Amino acid sequence: MDTRKRRRNRLIAAVCLTLLLLIILAICLGIIFRSENGASSSEVLKTTIISRCETYLQNNDPGSSESICNTLWMTFTKAFVGQDPCAVPPEAYNQLFQAINNYPSCNRTLFWSKTKAISHKYTQEKKCLETLEDTLLGNVMDGLTWCGKNNSNEIFTSGCPAWTECTMNPVRSFWDRSSGLIAEQTCGAATVMLNGSIPTPFDPNSTFGRIEAKRLKYPLVSGLTVVLVTQTNVTSCENDSLQNLQRVLDQSLTYSCKVVLQSQILDCISDPHMPCGKCW
Ligand code: DVN
């Protein structure tokens, strides 16, 4: 009996030791894997955001407090970390936008829709107008993806809900909130660059159509100029979707529309002596 008991105890001890060794091996492999593959996605995102923030402030607001970028990161992550990635409403970012709220001065806001590249090339080269992505938060977040998950401190930069998968995802809610705020803060004459090479330059389901156009209110805003960017001169400002835009706008706003060849804008951008007003 004793021999059998001793043999059974030795087997149990061997199994426990094996399990313990496997657990230690798994932890070591995890640490090695992570160190070999560098930082976690959360650390990569934080580094990207903080460095973009610091670069933006160095270029645009050198005297600003050093703590702004950490405040940006902290209030940004509070909006979505630990949350279902399809249950993050635009209001989740309220604290972030209360902390960081720089907007273009009057007469300088440029909206855009399906013209991202040329709009940004224009604002970055000519410095006359500013898009949302030329503000601190828009600049820092442009092109990034992020989400969290229920009851977890993890931050993911892949595998997040797509733009149309669910409307209250962290990325889309950020852009909806920031777009609404820049429109509400717009004053004086506003401009929008629309794409004259597509059938509906004004898409009511776009961010500009759903959110921004509706928030341009007289008398804070005096009017809207549409710059209809075309490759050839076949498009006109009489396009049906532009008639629809005029119906969506506050009827007290002045409205104008101008067809402009993309080549004219690009020539203007590339000529540092050409004043902004000559680009269209
Ligand atoms: O006025 C601008 C600016 O203020 C911005 O905040 O909103 C306006 C531009 O948004 P928009 O009117 O929807 O214009 P677009 O060109 O249809 O979409 C702008 C961006 O939103 C796209 O470039 C996408 O961003 P990305 O991935 O290129 O960095 C994103 N987007 C819009 N619809 C999307 C989408 N991304 C994926 N799937 C979609 N269906």
pLDDT tens by residue, 159-203: 999 999 999 999 999 999 999 999 999 999 999 999 999 999 999
**Could you tell me the pTM of the whole model?**
0.87
Ligand 1 atom 30, closest CA? 163
Separation of CA 207 and ligand 1 centre (Å)? 7
pLDDT at 26: 61
| Confidence check: pLDDT of 258 > 80 | yes
Ligand 1 mean position, distance from CA 6 (Å)? 71
Rounded to the nearest whole angstrom, what is the distance from the C-alpha of residue 192 to the centroid of ligand 1? 14
* Mean per-residue pLDDT of the chain: 92
Ligand 1 environment, Cβ below 6 A: 111-114, 116, 131-132, 143, 163-164, 175, 179, 182, 206-208, 212
5 pLDDT more than 80: no
Who has greater pLDDT, 33 or 141?
Answer: 141
Phi, psi for residue 50 in degrees, rounded to 5: -65, -40
Residue 165 to residues 90, 147, 160, 168, Cα–Cα distance (Å): 16, 13, 10, 9
CA 77/CA 83 separation, integer angstroms: 10
CATH 3.20.20.100 is right for the domain spanning 2-279: no
Residue at token pair 């004459």: 189
* Nearest residue (CA) to ligand 1, atom 10: 207
Which residue's CA is the closest to the ligand 1 atom numbered 6? 179
Domain boundaries, the chain: 2-279
| pLDDT in the model for residue 38 | 62
Could you tell me the distance, in angstroms and rounded to a whole number, from the CA of residue 206 to the centre of ligand 1?
7
* pLDDT (tens digit per residue) in 128-155: 999 999 999 999 999 999 999 999 999 9
- Which residues sit opposite 229 in a β-bridge? 195, 260
Listed in sequence order, the residues at least 6 apart from 206 whose beta carbon sits closer than 8 Å to its beta carbon are 113, 114
